[in-house]
Amino acid sequence: MSVRLIDSLATTQPLAELFSDQSVLQAMLDFEVALARAEARKGVIPDAAADAIAASATAGNFDTISLAHASLRAGTPAIPLVNALTVHVRKTNPDAARFVHWGATSQDVADTAMSLLLRRAKKIVVEDLLKLEQALLRLADRHEKTVMLGRTLLQPAPPVTFGLKAAGWLGAVRRGKHDLGHAFHAAAVLQFGGASGTLASLGDQGIATVEALSQELGFEKPPAAPWHTQRDRVARLICACGVLTGSLGKMARDISLLMQHEVGEAAEPGGDGRGGSSTMPHKHNPTACSLTLAAAHRVPGLVASFLSAMVQEHERAAGGSQAEWPIIAGVVQSTGLAIASMAEVAEGISIDGLRMKDNIDRTNGVIFAERAMMLLGAKVGRDVAHTILETATKKSVTEGRHLAAVLAEMPEVTAHLKAAELKGLEIPEQYLGSAEAFQKALIAESSHLESDWKNPTQIKEQ
């Protein structure tokens, strides 16, 4: 399946495949097959009925367009699917047809199918998350001592290192990955409660069937009870996606700004039609960053929509659950696209260390006004020093001269600061404070979180 044109900037090929009609349909059918097999194991329905249902439950046997049209009339895709599956089973085994969907309700099908899709989605996104994480770790290590302008409110500030900046992105990604791992694990669980969430139709075999069904579908264990109108597990996943996508959007914003021609300190990888313009051949656009920023714009609204849909009445909601499928699919695909896009950027980004130093030099040293103020403040007090440096920086900017040179002409400065102190004032490597320590701490702090993705069975449901 190809990505739909209208979704081409909102998903990846693997996630588009995952949420395709055929994939969603097969997930629903997989629930019906697992239900029949579990019930046969417990003697609820005949083995022959389970075999007949399994033989018919292949997505290719059904017309997704007709099912979609019928879903709009039924208010759920489960009803037309169950009807169609029953008709198909009846063709080969009329007796088995009456056991299709035995004891289940529509939301059992829809929610468990989504759980199966989310379990598969986790495997897709983790691959790109690990790529992104490793690429950021390499960037942080490689550029541990690469000095660049700090920027506050988009204006030049005292220097930082690109290694620290990359470590900051890495820390946010690892924290987001940790939360996402927990959330995926909690959300991908069985839903099976029958009409009112009591499984009354199965008599004394309800709990046993739940356990058998959970095993059939490969879930670790069933939840304590059906969760038809308790949507907190999925909500945590949606919120975790929102936070991680926001963190990736911050990274994308930083890099796209560093790519501006006037800045020129970083560049996305190009080639293969990436980053071009339909009218300006010279352009190298921040395409992957733009896709990530688009996701970061799109996801918060979807998160809010899901949270508002959590207010579901009694044992089955009117409108709440019906709102969820497109929201969940949109959030997971947008998050996956943001992860994949930034992994591509991090793996191929070009960093211009010389341009970074040049941009520092072009400030004529005014970014070191804080340093000068602290040196002078130790002698005359911070408030007096601040006033002196305001005057000096204005003169530096107006005359286009280096701050150190201006300060060297001011008696109120030279009376307290030696010529050697002023001479070394504008060396960025000497005013990085704890940048290296912070960079290393960020890497160390978040490194233990990796195990949650590599060993998902160790994650306990919250």
Kindly report the backbone phi and psi dihedral angles of residue 416, in degrees, each rounded to the nearest multiple of 5, phi listed first: -125, -25
- CB neighbours (10 Å) of residue 378? 12
Do residues 316 and 388 both lie within one domain?
no
Domain hosting 392: range is 366-425
Does residue 222 belong to any structural domain of this protein? no
Distance between the two ends of the chain, CA-based, in angstroms?
36
CA distances from 454 to 116, 182, 394 (A): 19, 12, 55
**What pLDDT score does 439 carry?**
97
Q: Which of 181, 214, 247 is the last residue of a domain?
A: 214
* Residue environment code for 393-428, b if the CB has 16+ CB neighbours within 10 A, otherwise e: bebbeeeeebbbbbbeebebbeebbeeebbeebbeb
Reduced to 3 states, what is the DSSP secondary structure of residue 351?
A: strand
Do residues 12 and 126 both lie within one domain?
no
Do residues 91 and 131 both lie within one domain?
no
Only one residue has tokens 């796209």, namely: 256
Do residues 400 and 354 both lie within one domain?
no
Reduced to 3 states, what is the DSSP secondary structure of residue 170?
A: helix
Give the pair of three-digit tokens for residue 124: 């897709």
Do residues 69 and 155 both lie within one domain?
no
Q: What is the pLDDT of residues 89-101, one digit of tens each?
A: 999 999 999 999 9
Give the chain's domain count.
3
- Residue 238: which CATH number? 1.20.200.10
- The pTM score is 0.92
Do residues 61 and 100 both lie within one domain?
yes
Burial of 205 by CB count in 10 Å (0-12 exposed, 13-18 middle, 19+ buried)? Answer: middle
Does residue 210 belong to any structural domain of this protein? yes
* Residue environment code for 120-151, b if the CB has 16+ CB neighbours within 10 A, otherwise e: bbbebbbebbbbbbebbbebbeebbebbbbbb
What ranges make up the beta strands (E) of 155-209?
155-161
Does residue 149 belong to any structural domain of this protein? yes
Do residues 452 and 420 both lie within one domain?
no
Does residue 198 belong to any structural domain of this protein? no
Q: Is the dihedral of CA 220, 224, 229, 235 positive or negative?
A: negative
With a cut of 50, list the residues of the chain below it in pLDDT. Answer: 277-278, 280-281, 283, 451-452, 455-462
Q: What is the pLDDT of residues 138-188, one digit of tens each?
A: 999 999 999 999 999 999 999 999 999 999 999 999 999 999 999 999 999
Does residue 196 belong to any structural domain of this protein? no
| CA–CA separation, 165 and 326 (whole Å) | 35
Do residues 143 and 253 both lie within one domain?
yes
**What pLDDT score does 273 carry?**
56
Does residue 159 belong to any structural domain of this protein? yes
Only one residue has tokens 């993705």, namely: 453
Do residues 305 and 379 both lie within one domain?
no
- Residue 100: which CATH number? 1.10.275.10
Do residues 112 and 248 both lie within one domain?
yes
Partner residues linked to 156 by β-bridges: 151
Do residues 29 and 152 both lie within one domain?
no
**What pLDDT score does 455 carry?**
46
- Residue 408: which CATH number? 1.10.40.30
**What pLDDT score does 47 carry?**
98
**What pLDDT score does 281 carry?**
47
Annotated active-site positions, please?
Answer: 277, 316
Does residue 219 belong to any structural domain of this protein? no
Does residue 46 belong to any structural domain of this protein? yes
**What pLDDT score does 1 carry?**
58
Do residues 52 and 150 both lie within one domain?
no
